[in-house]
Amino acid sequence: MKTAINTYPNTSLNVCIDDILRSNIIRANSGTLSKRPNKASRVLVLGGYGFIGRHVVEALKNVDTDVWIGTRRAQTALSPKNEKQVRLHTLATDPQWDVVLDGIDVLVNTVGILRQRWDESYEQVHHIAVETMAKACAERGIRFIHVSALGLNHPAKSRFLTSKKRGEQALVKSRGDWHLVRPSIVDGEGGYGAKWFRRVAKWPVHFVPRNANRLVAPINANDLGKAIANIALNGDPTVVLQSKQRIYELGGTKTMTLRQYLMALSPKEMATNAKPARCVLVPAGLARLVSHVCDALHLTPFSFGHYELLKNDNLPEDNRLDQMLTQWQCRKRAKLLLNTAKLTVA
C-alpha cells in the first residue's frame, strides 16, 4: 500500500529531506538548543485539548516531540505531568510567564473564545494576552505561533473580530520569532462549530443569510494540525524570515459558498436525493438580529462575528497548505531515516 508521501515527486522529496536533515545538524551545532526549535524541542500548546489544539498535539507526538499542554483547568495530583495551567485572561503581567514558559522552546496558541464570559473578555484573550505572550517569548528567545483567522482585514464592528485583529497587529509589531496562522473554516469531527454545521446539514431546510453568498475554503483540522506542527519545528534557526514569510494563510483545495458547504456535509442519501435540502435565504437584517440573540443567550456557534465574516470571501490570498503538508511528509520521512541511522549505529 502506498503512503501519502509517495504522492510527491521523488526529486522534490529528496531535496526536502536533505534540507530537514541539514537543518537538524545546524540546530545541533548552533549553541541555541534551549532557545530555538530543534530535534529535542519542547512545545507548549495552549488549548491543547481543544478542537485545533488536539490536532496540533497529535501531529507533534507523531514525530516524537516533547509536547506540553496548556489548559485552564486546575492541576491536581492526578493531572498528567505534561500539563500546565494557563488562564490567559489572568496573565496580564510579564513576570507570570516565567513559570509558564520555563523549559519551553516553542509556544503555540490555539486559544480563542467565541463569546465573552463574566471573567473573560475578547480584549483580554484575543489582544492583551497575545501581545503579552509575544513580548514574553521575544525576551526569552522562544518561537511563538499564534492561530488567528482569515477575513480580519475587512471592516467589522464585531468585538470578536476587532479584538482578534488588534491581537494580530500586536504580534506583527513584536520583535521575536513570531508566526501567524490564518485558517479558513476548520472542518472535522468534534469541533463545536463543525458539529453544528453537520447538524444543520441534516435538516430538510437550510437557512442561509441572504448576504452570505461569498466563498470559503474549508480546511481539515487534521491537515491544519500538521501544518502548525511543521511551523513549530521548521526552519533554520540562523535565518531571519521577513514578516510576510511568517504569515501562513491556509485553506482547503475546494472553494464553495456556505450553501454548497452545507450540501457537501449532507448525509450521502440526502446529497444524492432528487430533492436536496431546500435553501431558504434569510433577509440580512433578520440574520443579523438572530446573531445578536444567539450571542446574548449563548446559543449555537452563529454569532455576530460570524455573520460579518460570511459577508466576505474567506479565502487565503496565498494558500500555503500544500507547502506545509509537503514539508510535513518530508519531516516524517527524515525522522524515520534519523531513527534508522541511530539504530544502525547502536
Question: How far is the C-alpha of 68 from the C-alpha of 21, rounded, in Å?
Answer: 25
Q: Are residues 210 and 143 in the same domain?
A: no
Mean pLDDT of 228-246: 78
The cell 549553541 sits on which residue? 31
Distances (CA, A) of 203 to 137, 149, 271, 330: 46, 28, 12, 42
Question: How far is the C-alpha of 165 from the C-alpha of 159, rounded, in Å?
Answer: 10
DSSP structure class, residue 56 = H
Q: Tell me which H or E stretch contains 98.
A: helix 97-100
How large is the angle between the packed helices 321-345 and 221-233, nearest 10 degrees?
Answer: 60
Other Cβ atoms closer than 10 A to 278: 10
Question: How far is the C-alpha of 289 from the C-alpha of 5, rounded, in Å?
Answer: 48
CATH at 129: 3.40.50.720
Q: Are residues 129 and 245 in the same domain?
A: yes
Question: How far is the C-alpha of 114 from the C-alpha of 295, rounded, in Å?
Answer: 9
Q: Are residues 109 and 27 in the same domain?
A: yes
Q: Are residues 60 and 166 in the same domain?
A: yes
Determine what percent of the chain falls in helix, strand and coil, rounding each to the nearest 5. 45, 15, 35
Contacts 24+ apart (CB under 8 A), 81-86: 84/44, 86/46
Lowest mean pLDDT among 13-27, 130-144, 259-273: 13-27
Containing structural domain, residue 239: 4-183+219-251+315-341
User: Do the strands 215-216 and 256-257 form a parallel or antiparallel pair, or are they unpaired?
Assistant: antiparallel
Q: Is the residue at 245 inside a domain?
A: yes
Question: How far is the C-alpha of 96 from the C-alpha of 85, rounded, in Å?
Answer: 12
Mean pLDDT of 145-172: 95
Q: Are residues 126 and 110 in the same domain?
A: yes
**Residue 125: pLDDT band by 50, 70, 90 thresholds?**
very high
pLDDT: is 139 or 26 the higher one? 139
Q: Are residues 143 and 209 in the same domain?
A: no
Q: Are residues 48 and 148 in the same domain?
A: yes
The distance from CA 146 to its chain's CA centroid, rounded to whole angstroms, is 8
Lowest mean pLDDT among 195-199, 214-218, 266-270, 328-332: 266-270
Q: Which span out of 22-31, 34-43, 85-94 was modeled with the highest average pLDDT?
A: 85-94
* Domain count of the fold of the chain: 2
Q: Are residues 174 and 261 in the same domain?
A: no
60-77 pLDDT, tens digit each: 999 889 999 998 876 665
Distances (CA, A) of 194 to 182, 218, 261, 283, 314: 17, 10, 11, 24, 16
307-320 pLDDT, tens digit each: 999 999 999 999 99
- Cβ atoms of 54 and 64 within 8 Å: the answer is no
Q: Are residues 59 and 168 in the same domain?
A: yes
Q: Is the residue at 213 inside a domain?
A: yes
Q: Are residues 263 and 242 in the same domain?
A: no
Q: Is the residue at 346 inside a domain?
A: no
Q: Which span out of 94-108, 161-175, 225-239 was modeled with the highest average pLDDT?
A: 161-175
Q: Are residues 116 and 152 in the same domain?
A: yes
**Residue 119: pLDDT band by 50, 70, 90 thresholds?**
confident
Mean pLDDT of 85-111: 82
Q: Strand (E) positions, the chain? A: 42-46, 66-71, 83-85, 106-109, 143-147, 178-183, 186-187, 205-209, 215-216, 219-220, 247-250, 256-257, 278-282
Q: Is the residue at 136 inside a domain?
A: yes
Q: Are residues 232 and 213 in the same domain?
A: no
